[in-house]
């Protein structure tokens, strides 16, 4: 496992460093803009930018043939999948740290950036990125990296779609009841937590599906 | 002499129903180099893929060191060194980084041996692997295969793309690998002179079927390529005929026992290349 993670780090070293700087700068700029809409984007961007090297890494591995060589190593195939999901999760945590740092910095210059609403947006951004990862991995193993652009589009649409749909479902079903029971809680908090939970479950389910696909795959 | 690799009745169909391996069976004794010979598309790489588990099999068995090969038996893969027809190593890394990665993936990784082969093949440590020439890539792949105390090497066209001196160096390294009699190699190559130079056992495959497995010594001492007329050909016992090729006014025949053929039939001097051509282009009884 350590070897696989180290390989992923070496392979993506430059883009990880680039993503760290890029996500910090863009997020901070977006937060300093005097528009409310940019806050939502700023909450999602650090995650999306930080995990982008993973998909690029999958492409590079397939092109170099390393994914075939991996099968000949003394490793179970599930270990390979584990390493990808773990690497993705590490990058996601880095995205979270970058996001928080950007919010803190922006809050220092312009007050009222690091608010409860901002935290809710960050949770939703985290959930959306988890869904994207959950769609990208199994689809890439199933249809191949040649269709990476399509897979990226599908994963983005899926994460947005699930966010909007679950938001609508929440409002239509338990939303008002929860607000009546917990009137002092931020109105967006229960849904943000629920959405993060759903995303996490989808990510775990995607991990199981990816292992199944990868175990049947021929190289 | 114990067997390192034993393949029995291996069969494989690709999607679309195309059969690529038909009851492939052969074995490689300990301490030998087996040359795997066949045309493009004959099934060499597919056989190797099935042995290594990169491809699934539809039937048959693969035993390595007497144990049935299975995707979960990772300890068996610890003892197998692999070189594919192209380098399959991460191209963004340099050799130093690759060594760091592989050290964590193989229990028996020997960094000193790896560095020895890197120096032996004159490979640059800090250059990105993706910028290597084909020859350098193949040398690096061989260095990796030799650096984790493998007992069995599976080399698919490993000598392709090497210049003559590089090929010579590699063949010497491979000879040295089996010298202690405890290790074996399965080597496929289009360059039959390479196989002729180092192989002890020859395995010929055509259209997914094994035509012949024979030791090089037996092939050169007991087998013969005959040039005969149709009438002479009919008189040769069919059990002796391994393959034949009809030419305009004669038939070239590969027989498995020179002693049992009438001395009046003309015998040809032959090389492994001649036998390969006759088996690949000819017909079989």
Averaged pLDDT for residues A62-86: 93
As a whole number of angstroms, the distance between CA B99 and CA B188 comes to 26
Element (H, E) at A6: helix A2-32
Of B74, B90, B101, Cβ closest to residue A74: B74
User: Taken in order A169, A170, A173, A176, is the CA torsion positive or negative?
Assistant: negative
Residues of chain A that touch chain B, judged by Cβ-Cβ distance less than 8 Å: 2-4, 6-7, 10-12, 60-61, 63-66, 68-69, 71-77, 215-216, 218-219
Averaged pLDDT for residues A195-213: 96
Q: Give the pLDDT score at A126.
A: 93
Q: Of A13-27, A161-175, A177-191, B236-250, which range is least confident?
A: A177-191
Tell whether B91 is within 8 A of chain A (Cβ): yes
Which residues 107-136 of B have a C-beta within 8 angstroms of A?
A: 107, 130
Closest CA to A7 of A50, A60, A46: A60
Averaged pLDDT for residues A32-47: 85
Which residue in B has a C-alpha nearest to residue A7's C-alpha? B101
Q: What percent of chain A shows pLDDT beyond 90?
A: 62
pLDDT at B161 over 90: no
Average pLDDT over chain A, rounded to an integer: 91
Averaged pLDDT for residues A167-181: 85
Q: Give the pLDDT score at A80.
A: 94
CB contact under 8 A, B104 and A215: no
Tell whether B1 is within 8 A of chain A (Cβ): no
pLDDT at B208 over 80: yes
Q: What is the pLDDT of residues A10-29, one digit of tens each?
A: 999 999 999 999 999 999 99
Of B77, B80, B101, Cβ closest to residue A10: B101
CB contact under 8 A, A75 and B52: no
> If pLDDT is split at 50, 70 and 90, which confidence band does A63 have?
confident
- Starting at the edge strand found earlier in the chain, the sheet holding B18-29 runs B18-29, B3-14, B59-64, B67-68
User: CATH classification of B3-217 is 2.40.37.10, yes or no?
Assistant: no
What would the DSSP string read from start to end of A66-120? HHHHHHHSSS-HHHHHHHHHHHHHHHHHHHHHHHHHHHHHHHHHSSS-S-HHHHH
User: How far, rounded to the nearest angstrom, does the alpha carbon of residue A218 sit from its chain's CA centroid?
Assistant: 28
**Secondary structure percentages of chain A, helix, strand, coil, to 5:** 90, 0, 10
Q: Give the pLDDT score at B214.
A: 96
Q: What is the pLDDT of residues B127-144, one digit of tens each?
A: 999 999 988 999 999 999
> If pLDDT is split at 50, 70 and 90, which confidence band does A204 have?
very high
Query: Which residues sit opposite B253 in a β-bridge?
Result: B226, B244
State the total domains in chain A. Answer: 1
Let me know: does A159 contact A135? Beta carbons within 8 Å.
yes
The C-alpha of B282 sits at a distance from chain A's nearest C-alpha, in angstroms, of 32
Q: Of A31-40, A58-67, A68-77, B43-52, which range is least confident?
A: A31-40
Of A12, A63, A64, Cβ closest to residue B89: A64
As a whole number of angstroms, the distance between CA B47 and CA B62 comes to 10
Q: Give the pLDDT score at B1.
A: 52
As a whole number of angstroms, the distance between CA A160 and CA A123 comes to 14
Domain that holds residue A62: 2-216
Domain range summary for chain B, segments of one domain joined by +: 3-217, 222-281
Q: Give the pLDDT score at B200.
A: 94
CB contact under 8 A, A64 and B91: yes
Q: Give the pLDDT score at A31.
A: 87
This complex has an ipTM of 0.88
Q: Give the pLDDT score at A109.
A: 84
Averaged pLDDT for residues B148-167: 90
Which residues 25-84 of B have a C-beta within 8 angstroms of A?
A: 49, 52-56, 71-72, 74-75, 77-78, 80, 82, 84
Q: Give the pLDDT score at B265.
A: 87
CB contact under 8 A, A64 and B104: no
Q: What percent of chain B shows pLDDT beyond 70?
A: 100
Q: Taking CB atoms and an 8 Å cutoff, what residues of chain A touch B89?
A: 64-66, 69
Averaged pLDDT for residues A197-207: 96
- Please state whether B16 falls in left (phi above 0), alpha (psi between -120 and 50) or beta: left
> If pLDDT is split at 50, 70 and 90, which confidence band does A33 have?
confident
Of A12, A66, A218, Cβ closest to residue B89: A66
pLDDT at B51 over 60: yes
- Between A1 and B202, the higher pLDDT residue: B202
Q: What is the pLDDT of residues B73-88, one digit of tens each?
A: 899 999 999 999 888 9
Burial state string for A115-137 with b = 16 or more CB within 10 A and e = fewer than 16: eebbbbbbbbbbbbbbbbbbbbb
Of A61, A63, A77, Cβ closest to residue B71: A77
Let me know: does B274 contact B282? Beta carbons within 8 Å.
no
User: B42: which residues sit within 8 A by CB, 6+ positions away?
Assistant: B205, B206, B207, B208, B280
CA end-to-end span of chain A, whole Å? 21
Closest CA to A13 of B111, B123, B94: B94
pLDDT at B274 over 80: yes
As a whole number of angstroms, the distance between CA A45 and CA A122 comes to 10
Averaged pLDDT for residues A63-72: 92
Q: What is the pLDDT of residues B89-105, one digit of tens each?
A: 999 999 999 999 999 99
Interface test with A, best of B56, B90, B94, B150 (most A CBs within 10 A): B90
CB neighbours (10 Å) of residue A86? Answer: 15
Average pLDDT over chain B, rounded to an integer: 92
Q: Give the pLDDT score at B264.
A: 85
> If pLDDT is split at 50, 70 and 90, which confidence band does A153 have?
very high
């Amino acid at each position: 496992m350590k070897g696989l993670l180290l390989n992923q780090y070496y392979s993506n070293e430059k883009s990880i460093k680039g993503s760290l700087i890029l996500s910090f700068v863009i997020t901070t700029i977006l937060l300093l803009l005097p528009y409310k809409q940019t806050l939502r984007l700023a909450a999602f961007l650090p995650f999306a930018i930080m995990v982008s090297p993973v998909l690029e890494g999958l492409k590079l591995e397939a092109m170099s043939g390393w994914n075939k060589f991996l099968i000949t190593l003394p490793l179970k195939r599930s270990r390979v999948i584990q390493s990808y999901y773990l690497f993705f999760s590490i990058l996601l945590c880095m995205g979270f740290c970058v996001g928080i740092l950007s919010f803190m910095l922006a809050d220092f210059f312009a007050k009222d950036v690091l608010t409860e609403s901002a935290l809710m947006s960050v949770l939703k951004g985290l959930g959306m990125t988890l869904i994207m990862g959950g769609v990208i991995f199994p689809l890439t193993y199933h249809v191949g990296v040649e269709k990476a652009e399509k897979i990226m589009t599908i994963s983005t649409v899926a994460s947005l779609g699930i966010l909007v749909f679950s938001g609508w479902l929440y409002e239509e079903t338990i939303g008002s009841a929860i607000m009546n029971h917990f009137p002092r809680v931020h109105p967006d908090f229960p849904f943000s937590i629920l959405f993060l939970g759903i995303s996490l479950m989808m990510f775990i389910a995607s991990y199981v599906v990816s292992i199944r696909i990868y175990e049947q795959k021929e190289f | 002499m114990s067997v390192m690799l034993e393949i029995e009745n291996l069969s494989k169909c690709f999607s679309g129903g195309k059969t690529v391996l038909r009851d492939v069976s052969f074995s490689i004794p300990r301490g030998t180099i087996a040359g795997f010979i066949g045309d493009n598309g004959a099934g060499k790489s597919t056989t190797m893929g099935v042995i290594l588990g990169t491809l699934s099999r539809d039937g048959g068995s693969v035993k390595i060191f007497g144990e049935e090969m299975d995707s979960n038996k990772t300890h068996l893969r610890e003892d197998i060194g692999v070189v594919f027809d192209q380098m399959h190593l991460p191209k963004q890394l340099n050799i130093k980084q690759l060594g760091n990665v592989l050290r964590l993936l193989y229990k028996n990784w020997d960094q000193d041996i790896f560095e020895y082969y890197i120096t032996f093949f004159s490979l640059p440590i800090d250059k990105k692997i993706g910028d290597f020439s084909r020859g350098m890539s193949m040398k690096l792949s061989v260095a990796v295969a030799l650096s984790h105390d493998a007992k069995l090497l599976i080399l698919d066209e490993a000598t392709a793309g090497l210049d003559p001196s590089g090929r010579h160096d590699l063949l010497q390294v491979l000879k040295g690998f089996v010298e202690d009699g405890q290790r074996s190699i399965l080597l496929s190559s289009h360059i039959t002179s390479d196989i002729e130079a180092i192989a002890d056992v020859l395995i010929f495959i055509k259209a997914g079927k094994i035509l012949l497995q024979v030791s090089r010594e037996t092939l050169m001492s007991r087998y013969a390529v005959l040039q005969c007329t149709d009438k002479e050909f009919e008189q040769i016992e069919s059990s002796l005929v391994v393959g034949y090729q009809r030419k305009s006014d004669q038939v070239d025949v590969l027989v498995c026992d020179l002693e049992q053929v009438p001395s009046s039939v003309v015998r040809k001097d032959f090389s492994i290349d001649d036998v390969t051509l006759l088996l690949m282009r000819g017909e079989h009884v």
